[in-house]
Structure 1
């Protein structure tokens, strides 16, 4: 597998996101199935594993910790704080964004316990709580690093200005945000800023939340709890129009001798030596398909053809609904989708 650099770490250019096991897309998978995917990833040479306090309100960390513990000296383990589950007076767990230093410290210490490790290699601020100056949140993360609880700092879903402010406070090793053929916001500033500052860009949802795989043809039957049901581009009318992009993409994939999924991953990792693809999956077969994509080199003409096919103005629907969009600081294309 091709290698990339994140701060002090060298990792494979395709990582494994561990959200899918128990969060965001409906019914969680069995422990046995999740462990099978983790073991397959380890055997295939995946070296970056990514989770968060939010995922399953800690369930993802508890699930992956025992499997990864024997391999801690050979992998890079990433988690996130600043957005986690908080139990209300009614006993219900709810997602809360809180970037205050005391909360980040508690999030980190809770994650360490669930993961069964003494140190988290890469620790992200999952969301910037804009009630708190980003320098304060990053400052507390720097103190956690000084204490040996984390090894490197990351940010998630922030724009270029906030990234630069944070980097001035303390070196940032990685920025994680959505990036794929049909989510191109990174190209408005953060991708270039990361390259300039020597920061890795970790691209989550490089498969477009299954859209780019071609395996999700209908969205009417999304199960309860699937976050895609609230996303504008996954609404039935918008999705039907977006599906029209897949036939020409399939023709390109056939010329390149690969599947749609492999082509989607290949496009992401071909965007720069500082870019790492972070797909999540609950399938061993899909895991291997994603990893094959990381080995494909695309020429400039083919990349340009894909760029034109998936130009942002041709995508129907935003990636987030308005309420979720307000929670992130990423740059946004100002256009009415056709």
Structure 2
């Protein structure tokens, strides 16, 4: 095998004890060390085939990242400082902004670096780590949006029982479940990814370390690793979109039975921001699965990847802040309080 290293001089007594206590974490570290010692590294091509666009693209992505950081951190600050907002909407928007901030921070800095430096290499450990944290954020946001759809269903279809049905305990469990499932999926993907062997320097025709790009340059059969991510990806998309679709079907029929036009408009307007966020998040992901992996489609793949990894985290706080009356009012109060402090 390309990265096969002997272990005749195995770990000492203390290391053996630690390995027995925590074999999985030790195995992960050993596999990364094994591939690293073989000199494994990757080169992220990104948009290097367009040298004249490196400068403009850097400025565009830097602007997007700045707006993303300010928007999501600003949303978190506003939601944290003003408890007058609805508690459930507060906690879900808070964690959605947190996930978007982390997601963008995992991917965008490396993208910006590769646009201004000639050395576009990334270590095996760095590539695997980027994939792990990006995967955690993607899966977590997928089910966070599904949980928010269930919240809208309860709020519209059972408004009188809303505070009982959506208790603080249930909200906390839903948020924790989203993070737990995101980390579980990522650990499963990493486990099978680290069973592969890698050798030398491999070229990845993308700006981010994605699972399919990593396994494509492995020196061993990636069938099991690819099968695992396909199964989990299909389950995640079907289950999350199933929750969203079912929730909004009930919402639609409930709203259409409302006697007043104003009531229907108000109910639909409260769901508009959430539906917009779902569309811009799942659309590019579903598009990527439908695009054939031919040379002519690589540019479309990169554009779609840019959209859901860089652009979507910027759009979410803008969508919710522009369409959510409570968030806009809280933001105005925060700005006015800061201005009054400066004047005084």
Query: TM-score normalized by structure 1?
Result: 0.23
- Higher helix proportion, which one? 2
Query: TM-score normalized by structure 2?
Result: 0.23
- Higher strand proportion, which one? 1
Quick one: higher RCO (CA 8 Å, sep 6+), 1 or 2? 2
